[in-house]
Amino acid sequence: MEFFLEASLKGLNKWLRFLGYKTEICEGKITKEEVFKHKDKFFLITSPKTAEILEKAGIKYLLLPRDTLKAQFKMLINKLNLNTELKLNICSICGKELVPVKKEAFKDLIPPKVYQFYDEFNYCPRCKKLYWQGDHIKRLEERLKSLVEK
């Protein structure tokens, strides 16, 4: 299942990618053309008007409240029964699947300390960005916990 998100849901979009879900975000307004182009995806929206269009077209969607990220996140997770484990296998910038790479091949791009302490590196072929599971993972995990808890 791939998600298509309204432009206002950037925060949610990033988190879905952290959890390993494939997503695309609409840069502008969701027009009928956009709806048709992405009709096989699951739409996440906050606009009742867009909901009407999707309903008529028989396309799967979830209408989220115009509320905090936490409120939207919890509703989405509960309604669709999504996993809430950090996967970090998708580029959070562009949504492409990351490719595991050998660090030796990317030595020039990696700070020496990082090179020394980490062995798992992932690469986004679209953004040409290298990811590794550094200290920021702990911060992400804590943030995730605070998003999920009551």
User: Residues in the site for Zn ion, rule: CB under 5 A?
Assistant: 91, 93-94, 96, 124, 126-127
Closest distance to Zn ion from the beta carbon of 113 (Å): 24
> Which tokens belong to 136?
């920021």
Q: Which is nearer to Zn ion, 42 or 123 (CB)?
A: 123
Q: Which is nearer to Zn ion, 11 or 74 (CB)?
A: 11
Radius of gyration of the chain (CA): 17
Closest distance to Zn ion from the beta carbon of 128 (Å): 8
How many secondary structure helices (H) and strands (E) does the chain include? 6, 7
Query: Do 41 and 32 contact (CB within 8 A), yes or no?
Result: no
Q: Which is nearer to Zn ion, 39 or 96 (CB)?
A: 96
Q: How far apart are CA 44 and CA 91, in angstroms?
A: 19
Closest distance to Zn ion from the beta carbon of 124 (Å): 3
Residue nearest to Zn ion (CB): 91
